[in-house]
Structure 1
Amino acid sequence: MNFVLYDGVEWKKLFPITLTRPVSEIRLGLFTIRERWEKYLGKDVYDVITQPFLSEKFSKKESSYFENILLINSSFLPNEELIQIIFSLEENETIFFEEKMIAIKKNIFLKKENIISINVKKCKKIYRVKQVIHIQHPWDIFINNEIVLRKDFMFFTKGKKSFSLLGNNHIIYKERIFLEENIKANNIVLNAQYGPIYIDKGVEIMEGSVIIGPVAIGKNSKLSIGTKIYGGTTVATFCKVGGEIFNSVIFSYSNKVHDGFLGNSILGEWCNLGAGTNISNLRNDYQKVTVWDYEKKIFYPTNLQFLGLIMGDHSKSAINTQFNTATIVGVSDSIFGYGFPPRYIPSFYLGGIQNKKKIPFNKVCETAEIMMNRRNQKFSFLDKKILEYLYQLLDI
C-alpha cells in the first residue's frame, strides 16, 4: 500500500505558514507532519498532493493517477489507534474524526479528483476515532507542541542511548534528557523536571543558557549566551536563537539571536528578528484576542488569551521592533519604524505603521538569495517560482 498525504480545506486556514509549503511540511514536536507519519507508518510517504504552485517542489510523482493508495489528510497527526485502523483498511473504507475524513483507501485515484468531495455514502465502511490532534489554525501548532513533543520524545528515543554532555553543566532529571552526538555546551542548565529535553547533533549552547523542558533543539542550531528557553518550545534545524523563548515553534534556518521575548508564536523558515525585538502574547486587559481572517479580510474573535506572532517565511524585523498581541505577518516582509506595526501585514511589504509599501520582486529574490547563501543553501528556481506566484496575488 502506498501512503499519500494531501492538503484539505485546512491549507487556507493555516496561512501564512502554508503560503509556501504543504500542510505536511509544518513542524511541531521533533518532526514535520510528514516525517512523523513516515515514522509511525514505517515507510516513506509515497507522495504529497498540494496546491499546483507548490507541487513542483514538494510532490514526487509526475503521473496523473495513483494505484493501491491510502489518502491521508495532512492536518491530522498519527497515533497508535489511527495506525492500527489504517493497516486494517480495505478498498473504499474510511476513517473519520467527528465530521471530518482523516483517511480513505482507494485502489485507483486520479490526481484531478476532488478529494474533499468524496462521496462518503459510497464508502463500504467508516471507522471513527475519538481522539486525534487536528492542526486547523497556525496557533494549533504551539498549543499542541508540548503534548506532541512529549509523545515524540517517548516514541523516538525508546531503546536508544543518549550521548554524554561534556563540560561543567547543571543537569536536572538526566533520565528525561536525550542528547545526540557532537553537542557543545559549558556552564548551562538543562532542567527536565517538567518535561523531556531533546537536543540534536551539532548543537552549540553557549554559557549561561537555561532550558526547561519539554523542549526540542534541532540539528546544528546555536543558542547565544544566556538564552532562556521555556517548555513547549521547538527550535528546528540550523537556527540561531537567544533571549527569552516560551511555548513557540521556530522553523529551520530562522534567527532570533539577540535579547527580546518570543512567546506563543510561530516563525517560518528564513526569518530574522532584529536585536531587541519583543512580542506581546497577552493583552493588557486580559481579553481574548482577535485574529486576521485571510479569506474574509477582517479580524475575527477567538477563544485565545495567549497569542504572540505568526510570521511567514523570509520575513524580517528591524532592531527594537515591538509586535502587538496576535500579530500576523506574511511572507518576505521587511518591518521597521517607530510604534507598533499593524496587527496584519500582507506579504512582500516594507516598513511599518508610518510607511508601508510593496517591495520590488527583484529585491525580494536578492534578499532571499543572500540569506540562503550565508547558510550554504541555494535559492532555487522553484523557490523563486513559489514567491513569484504569491507576489502576484493581492493582500496575502
Structure 2
Amino acid sequence: MNFILYDGIEWKKLFPITLTRPVSEIRLGLFTIKERWEKYLGKSVDHVITQPFLSKKYSKKKSFYFKNILLINSSYLPNEELIQILFSLKENETVFFEEKIIAIKKNFLLGKEDVLSLKKYKKTYHIKKVIHIQYPWDIFINNESVLKKDFLFFTKGKKSFSLLGKNYIIGRDRIFLEEDIQTNNVVLNAQYGPIYIEKGVQIMEGSVIRGPVYIGKNTTLNVGSKIYGGTTISTFCKVGGEIFNSVIFSYSNKVHDGFLGNSILGEWCNLGAGTNISNLRNDYRKVTVWNYEKKDFIPIDLRFIGVIMGDHSKSAINTQFNTATIVGVGGSIFGYGFPSRYIPSFSFGGIQSKKRIPFNKICETSEIMMKRRNINFSVLDKKILEYLYQLLDI
C-alpha cells in the first residue's frame, strides 16, 4: 500500500508556521507529524501533496501515479484506533472525524487529480477521538499530552544511557537519555511527566528541566536554563532563560534570559538578549489573534498565548512582545515599546516604522546564519522565500 500525506484546508489556518512548510513538517512532541505517521504505519510515507511552491523541497515526485493508496490529511495525528481502521479500509472507503475526512482509500491517484474529488464512498468509518492540528496554538495546547504518548511509544523496550557528573534526578524511570549528553549539577524532574534527551545535548550548570520535555540532538542549554513542562526544543537549538509549554523548531535560538511561554518559534529564529513574551493579558481576558484569511484580529477561546513566529524571524535586544503576537517569516523586530500584535513577513523595525527588508538582505542574513550551522542556504530555500516575498499581507 502507498501512503500519501496531503495538506487540507488547515494549511492556510496554520500560518505563519506553514508559510514555509507542509503541515506534515510541523513538530510537536518528539516528532514531526510525518515522522509520527511513519512510526505508526511502520513504513516511509511515499509522497507528500502540498502547495506547488513547496513541492520541490518537500515532495518526492514532481508528477506521480500511485496504485492502492491511502490518502491521509496531515493535520491529524495517528493513534492506535485510527491505525487499526486505516489498515482495514477497502477501496473507496473513508474515515471521518466530526464530519471531516481524515483518510480515503483509493485504487489510484494521478498527479493533477484533486485529492478530495471522490464524492461518494462505499463505506465510512467514524473515529471518536483524535488530535486535530487546525491552528498554530493547537501545537502547544496538545504538546504535553503528545509528549507523554510519544515517550511511551518510542522508548518501549529501549535502554536509556546514564548521565555523568553530579546531577539531581527525580523519576529516573521516566527519563530517557541518548548517548554523549554533557551535564553537571543539573536537575531533571520527571515527577510530572517524562523527559527525553537526544544525543549530543549539552546542559550547562544550574539548569532545571521539569517534564514532560523533549530536547533534540546537539542542542545546548545555557547556564541556569529553566525548562518547564509541555516544552519541545528541537535539534541544533541554543536556549536559555525560562521556557514554558512552548515548541521551538530546529536551528532556532533563545540563548539569553527572558520568558517564552505558550509560544512557537519556527526554524532559524533568534530572540535577542532580554527578549520577553507576555502570555497573559493584564485583565485576564481571552485573547484576539490575527487571522490571515480575514485580515483582522478574531477572538479565540484562549487566555494563555505568547508569540507565534514564522521561520527566519529575529528580535533585537530587550524586545517586548505583547500577548498573542503573530510574527511572519523573515522579520527583523527592534525598537522601543511593544511592536504590533501582527508583524507581517519581512518587516523591519517595530512600532516606529513599517519598512520591508530588501530581499537580497533576507537572503544574505539567512545564508550567514545557516552557514554557521554548516547548512547551505539552497536554491529551493531561496525560491520559497522569494515566492512569499512577492505576496502581500503575510
Q: TM-score, normalised by structure 2?
A: 0.99
Aligned position for 1:360: 358
Q: State which of 347, 350, 359 in structure 2 corresponds to 1:349.
A: 347
State the match for 1:86 in structure 2.
Answer: 86
Aligned to 2:244: 246
Q: Work out the CA distance in 1 between the residues paired with 2:62 and 2:349.
A: 41
User: Cα deviation per residue 1:361-390 (whole Å; 9 max; x = unaligned)?
Assistant: 000000000000000000000000000000
Which deviations, in whole Å up to 9, do the C-alpha atoms of 1:146-166 show, x marking residues without a partner?
000000000000000000000
**Secondary structure, counterpart of 1:135 in structure 2:** coil
Instruction: Tell me which residue corresponds to 2:74.
Output: 74
Match of 2:6 in 1: 6
Deviation (angstroms), 1:109: 1.2
Superposition deviation, residue 41 in structure 1: 0.3
Q: Does 1:118 pair with 2:118?
A: yes
In the TM superposition, 1:267-346 aligns within 5 A as: 267-346=265-344
Provide the aligned length of Structure 1 versus Structure 2.
Answer: 394
- Distance in 2, matches of 1:113 and 1:103, equals 16
SS at match of 2:101: strand
| Segment of structure 1 superposing worse, 64-73 or 283-292 | 64-73
How far residue 112 of structure 1 moved from its aligned partner, in angstroms, is 1.8
User: CA contact under 8 A between 1:20 and 1:313: conserved in structure 2?
Assistant: yes
Distance 1:258 1:163 in 2: 29
* Alpha-carbon distance between aligned partners in 1 of 2:364 and 2:205, rounded to the nearest angstrom: 35
Task: Give the secondary structure class of the aligned counterpart of 1:303.
Answer: coil
Question: Partner amino acid for 2:32?
Answer: T
Shift of 1:118: 3.2
**Structure 1 alignment gaps of length 5 or more:** none
Counterpart position of 1:258? 256
Q: CA deviation at 1:117?
A: 4.6
Tell me the distance in 2 between the aligned counterparts of 1:216 and 1:148: 11
Q: Render the CA deviation track for 1:124-155: whole Å, top value 9, x for unaligned.
A: 11011000000000000000000000000000
Q: SS at the partner of 1:202?
A: coil
Q: Which whole-Å CA distance do the structure 2 matches of 1:260 and 1:176 have between them?
A: 28
- Structure 1 contact 8–116 (Cα < 8 Å) conserved: no
Match of 2:189 among 188, 191, 204: 191
CA distance in 2, matches of 1:395, 1:377: 29
The equivalent of 2:107 in structure 1 is 107
* Distance (whole Å) between structure 2 residues aligned to residue 60 and residue 247 of structure 1: 33
State the percentage of identical aligned residues: 81
Q: Residue 153 of structure 2 is aligned with which of 149, 152, 155? A: 155
Q: Normalising by structure 1, report the TM-score.
A: 0.99
- Whole-angstrom CA distance in 2 between matches of 1:61 and 1:360: 33
- In structure 1, the residue matched to 2:48 is 48
Aligned amino acid, residue 266 of structure 1: I
2:125 alignment partner in structure 1? 127
Structure-2 separation of matches of 1:350 and 1:391: 13
* Aligned residue number for residue 33 of structure 1: 33
In the alignment, what sits opposite 2:386?
Answer: 388
* Match of residue 22 from structure 1: 22
Distance 2:186 2:124 in 1: 52
Runs of 4+ in 1 over 4 A off after TM superposition: none
Take 2:329 and 2:112, find their aligned partners in 1: how far apart are those partners?
28
Separation of aligned partners in 2, 1:311 and 1:323: 11
CA distance in 2, matches of 1:28, 1:111: 30
